[in-house]
Copies of this chain bind each other. A is one copy, B any other.
Amino acid sequence: MLITRKAGFSASHCTARPDWSAERNAEVYGESANPHGHGHNYELEVTLSGEPDPVTGMVMDLKELKGILNEEVVHPFDHRHLNHEVPPFDRVVPTTENVAREIWRRLARRFQDGPPGVRLHNVRLWETADVYVDYGGEDER
């Protein structure tokens, strides 16, 4: 069984490599390379897999999950400029792909010793209402 909880954060980013010229960044990333940055209301859907506890009927306490999402993602990312304030985005270009992967890494740590039988299954990150990324930790397996 899968259970999914949403969370959101409003952040700025600039998709450009610091080791490239402005021209090359504009060529590859277009308007998103604007060094002043631009922003999004990111929407996150975090999916866990597990079996409902036969006594409580719950895969996991959703208030506890909300607390983890706030600690690992919402508080550090919300109202921030990702490139300047949220590592590793000082070094890693914060494309939606890379932001989703970083969120996976932060959350995966928390579920290693988490409730027995509960595993982080998928991170879906919406950058706008038209674009989203799904990441399930594939390249770590």
Contact = CB atoms under 8 A, between A and B. Distances in A.
B129 A6 contact: yes
Nearest to A7: B130
Given A4-B132, A5-B130, A12 B39 contact: yes
Which of A8, A39, A96, A100 counts the most B-chain CB atoms under 10 A from its CB? A39
Interface in A1-24: 1-8, 10-13, 15, 17
Interface string A82-102: 001100000011111110110
A81 B19 CA distance: 22
A17 B55 CA distance: 9
User: Could you say which interface size class chain A belongs to?
Assistant: 35 or more
B15 A12 contact: no
B38 A12 contact: yes
Contacts of A62: 131
A6 B100 CA distance: 18
Interface of A: 1-8, 10-13, 15, 17, 28-32, 34, 36-41, 47, 51-52, 55-59, 61-63, 78-81, 84-85, 92-98, 100-101, 128-135, 138-139
